[in-house]
Structure 1
Amino acid sequence: MSLRVRVFAALVVALVGGAFVLPWAVVQARNLWRVVLYDSRILVCTGDWRDWGDTYCNPDTFSVAGTVTRLVVVGLLVLAAVALLVLWSGRPLRSLATTVTRFGPQNLAERTEVRGRRSQYTRLAGQVDQMLDRVSAGYEGQRRFAANASHELRTPLAIQRTLIEVGMVGTPSPEQLELLTRQLLDTNERNEALVEGLLVLAETDRGLSSRTPQRLDAVVADTLATHASLATAAGVRVHAEVAPVEVPGESALLERLVANLVHNGIKYNDRDGDLWVTVGPGHPVLRVVNTGPEVAPESVPRLFEAFRRARGDRLDHSGGAGLGLTIARSIVQAHDGSVTATARPGGGLDVAVELPTGGPAT
């Protein structure tokens, strides 16, 4: 039975019961008032079967103690009936509360499972189920993130341990010592990049502590100048179209956002490929497009997940941790914006960033 039907039925029962009990209680109280205060034996009756003949309104048989007892007993019965009606009508809501109470990390599949005609209660139950779905997805995302982060950290640490153990066996030659040292340094740099990425994610998830106008075009120009040698070494031609524009935010995070997108555009590109970077006050405010290997359209949304790469690998040896687009999305969301990626038909990605702007910079 739906919540609306239960409430309606409870109201009908309460009104009908009140129509029978209330007039009788008023008459009894009036008679009690007259007898106790005025010593009057002129009593009144309800005029129907509730007088039980004339027992309750006959001066000869009227009893103060009996009347008080009857009023108290009837009052308690009415309160008990009202309590039962309230409990009965509110049972569906208690069922929802029980479902939410049972839901937890060890019981993520708990749902209301309310079905039936569309009503306010079924809509509420559906919204509760949707909320639990989102919370469950968040739990699973955290678990997956923790497991992947542990794996990403454990593997290079194991490599470092192996390299150290190899170096401790015998007396390595200068060439071997140099090789071991270089490999240890590369592994350590990768760990540093991973830890730094995790710290940036934790910082941006808390939101921005302050917002000041930032010249996004200047940030992009500086980033492109910094990555010029990397693009040249990778054989990537960079095409920039930068117009003055201001966005409210934090300069360090905006620099990290642009650097991640530009670095990804160069790293996952073809030899003799192209990278287009556009900045302006329109929509999107920032756009990074690159050539490169073809990306399946259905796999593009997963690229924003932590430790995901275009090839589908979770671990590679290119020095990246698979957090570039994850950090970019987190920074954009912290700035109240949105970022989308689209697979280009000829290969590569088209990444568009929407950010609240202050208009063209002067």
Structure 2
Amino acid sequence: MDLSTVQIPVERVAHSKRSEVDFNHLPFGKVVTDHMFICTFRDGSWQDPRVVPYQPISLDPSAKVFHYGQTIFEGMKAYKDTEGKVWLFRPEDNQRRLNISAKRLAIPEVPKEIFMEGLKTLLKTDQDWIPTAPGSSLYIRPFVFASGKGFHASPADEYTFIIACSPSGPYFSGKVSVRIEETYSRAADGGVGFAKAGGNYAGQFYPTQLAMADGFQQVVWTDDHHHEFIEEAGAMNIFVRIGNTLLTSPTSDRILDGVTRKSILQLAEDEGIPTEVRKIRVRELVEASQNGTLKELFGAGTAAVVSPISSFGYQGKRYELPDLENSYASQFRKRITDIQYNRAKDPFGWRFPVE
């Protein structure tokens, strides 16, 4: 395939189901659009990229995704401004990160031309599905999985790359309460915590269920050695404000290099907010809460953008966060979403037109 001139054929649905959807009441990730992009890796190359009607996937029971977990994904959004133009937010960062994940899981990397052209063709095909209600967007899920057959414990010889979309309302509403994890670990040194691998998230569900049973909405993950340092908040990067300084953990084998995380750090620098990228001890959080210098905790990720944390639990005690009128979380959320929805200037070149 000549990747310099990727052509994406489109097979359109006979009848759109868009009229059946209530765009004023969209649950997150439940509704899917009419079409999806699909491409297959076989015989040593990615081939047959196309947009087709959204449909079930037929797989052999011995498909290696079921047995050895070779599956990765990304999370992105498309936005429509008041003039009807469609925008993406830093999509090339997602494309690069997908391939970082692919390399770690011995999955063939997806060429940039296939990723970007497939994404743009799909969005132009389903652009009427991009919602315009406040806080709504089109959630985009690119993912790759081992569709090759065989029970032998080895990488597959065939893979499938799909991009599917879901018009969605806001991911979170209001603040959340979190518990700092002291028993379970999300990831370990030398592992795949930095990759968006499906198994990373499967392993989070049980500890999160335990936290929810105790009245929390999410878990703050800590290091796998001594549970001494905070690392992520649920499926998001975590930020801490002590005094006027913004702190976040450095990326590593265990921590995802989040697109929203990078954007917040750039915005903080742009606004002159002092920042520190370093390890953050749980004890430092507790002491800052006790002496009144802990001002904010919030998660950052594609789905929620910014998710403020109202309290955290640790060793059986709950610590409340103050309710600030002009929080960093609200400032960052507004600046990012104003760029995403083309409501403000984009001095960083993050906004990407779908034309």
Do the two structures share a fold, i.e. TM-score over 0.5?
no
Q: Which has the larger radius of gyration?
A: 1
- TM-score category (smaller protein): under 0.3
- TM-score normalized by the length of structure 2: 0.22
Which has the larger helix fraction? 1
Instruction: Determine which structure has greater relative contact order: mean sequence separation of CA pairs < 8 Å that are 6+ residues apart, divided by chain length.
Output: 2
